[in-house]
Amino acid sequence: MKIPLKTDSGRTVATLDTETGEIYKQVYAKTHMLQKPRAWAYDMSIYNELMGYAIDKKIPRDKMHFTINARDEGKTYTISFDKFNEHLFEFNRGHGNQVAVTLDRWAVEKDGIKQLELFA
């Protein structure tokens, strides 16, 4: 089952697939990627909701993973839930509290070819 993940304002920005553990969002990197430092971010409210699923063991933590499809780049970024938790930083730049992980921590795939991660 796919559960919509919504910001505090009620806007759906991602989905959680309860069967696969995938946290999926489709964006345009040009407008949605954090630029300094270059990173992918999620609203704190969504992150807290995901932590609730992990803590309550509704979805096994080792199964949960983030997938971001950057449509304008033709790239897909992935990271495990645990790796995201290990490397996240918090910030607020006028759009509410958010958590992010820099690009060097994400696996990147373009045209079906997976690029090497800089840091495992």
- 68-101 pLDDT, tens digit each: 999 999 999 999 999 999 999 999 988 889 999 9
In this prediction, residue 110 carries a pLDDT of 85
pLDDT tens digits, residue range 36-76?
A: 999 999 999 999 999 998 888 888 889 999 999 999 999 99
Q: Are residues 46 and 6 in contact, defined by beta-carbon separation less than 8 angstroms? A: yes
In this prediction, residue 117 carries a pLDDT of 52
pLDDT of 120 above 50: no
Supply the pTM of this predicted model.
Answer: 0.90
Tokens of 86: 């290990």
Parse the chain into domains and list their residue ranges.
Answer: 2-115
